[in-house]
Amino acid sequence: MTKKDFWNQTISSWEKNKYKKTKYFDFNSSVKFRLQMASYLLNQFSKKTKYLELGCGSGYLWKQINPSCIESYRGVDFSNKAIESFQKEVKKLNKTNQVSLFCEDCTKNIYPAEIVVSLGLLDWISTDKIKLLAKNYKSTWFLHSFSEKRNSLSQWIHHCYSLWNYKAGSPYYRSSKELLFLFGPQAKIYRHPKLSFGAFIYNLPKNIKFKC
């Protein structure tokens, strides 16, 4: 099965499962924290900003951003299911003048943006595509989550779970060193225990601060 077919079949259940509230132990707390952290950072942009989100899914991140911070929001995802559901939400909230959505591969076009963001995308694309993204958007601010290669029990469980449950196989786990090399000298890494083995590679203005 291609990754595109996989995400078309999976995106809506993946999002429901990852973002649903649970009363008891939450196996998906790191994905929720990732979304929370990204919106916390993006909401610190003080002036109206041009956002580009790659692998945007149904727009969970966009919904967390204060509309008064948004000059324009472009979302790119190769899953038409994701784009259709994002589009529905945009229409419902009457924000069609602010948001434009593109159903295509994240490397197909280069869009103007002040900040390029992705959550959970790098884990599913090849190193050659990451190289292209880094090159395409080298002069913009960026914030990308990724799964950091670690020798940890949680990563081993995640890997087995993905092989068992995901028809597209396991996601990529990459070392920070490899990503820092691809994104260049301005890139930095952020880790937090609540992200588990997730991390961010980023280059953001100095006034934008991570939560401690």
Ligand X SMILES: C[S@@+](CC[C@H](N)C(=O)[O-])C[C@H]1O[C@@H](n2cnc3c(N)ncnc32)[C@H](O)[C@@H]1O
CB nearer ligand X, residue 76 or residue 179: 76
Q: State the minimum distance, in angstroms, from the CB of residue 185 to ligand X.
A: 26
E runs forming strands in 97-206: 99-103, 115-118, 141-147, 188-191, 198-203
Q: State the minimum distance, in angstroms, from the CB of residue 20 to ligand X.
A: 13
Q: State the minimum distance, in angstroms, from the CB of residue 150 to ligand X.
A: 19
Q: State the minimum distance, in angstroms, from the CB of residue 206 to ligand X.
A: 26
DSSP-derived letter for residue 107 is T
Task: Name the nearest CA neighbour of 147 among 168, 182, 119, 174.
Answer: 174
Task: Name the nearest CA neighbour of 194 among 67, 26, 43.
Answer: 26
Buried residues in 71-80 as b, exposed as e (16+ CB within 10 A) = ebbbbbbbbe
Interatomic CA distance for residues 186 and 79, integer angstroms: 31
CB nearer ligand X, residue 124 or residue 183: 124
Structure tokens at 63: 């919904």
DSSP-derived letter for residue 196 is T
Structure tokens at 114: 């002040």
CB nearer ligand X, residue 79 or residue 203: 79
Residue ranges binding ligand X (CB under 6 A): 3, 7, 11, 15, 55-57, 60, 76-79, 82, 105-106, 119-121, 124-125
CB nearer ligand X, residue 82 or residue 143: 82
Q: State the minimum distance, in angstroms, from the CB of residue 8 to ligand X.
A: 7
Q: State the minimum distance, in angstroms, from the CB of residue 149 to ligand X.
A: 17
CB nearer ligand X, residue 34 or residue 45: 34
Tell me the residue type at 190.
Y
Q: How far is CA 90 from CA 18, 57, 59, 95, in A?
A: 21, 13, 9, 5
CB nearer ligand X, residue 157 or residue 186: 157
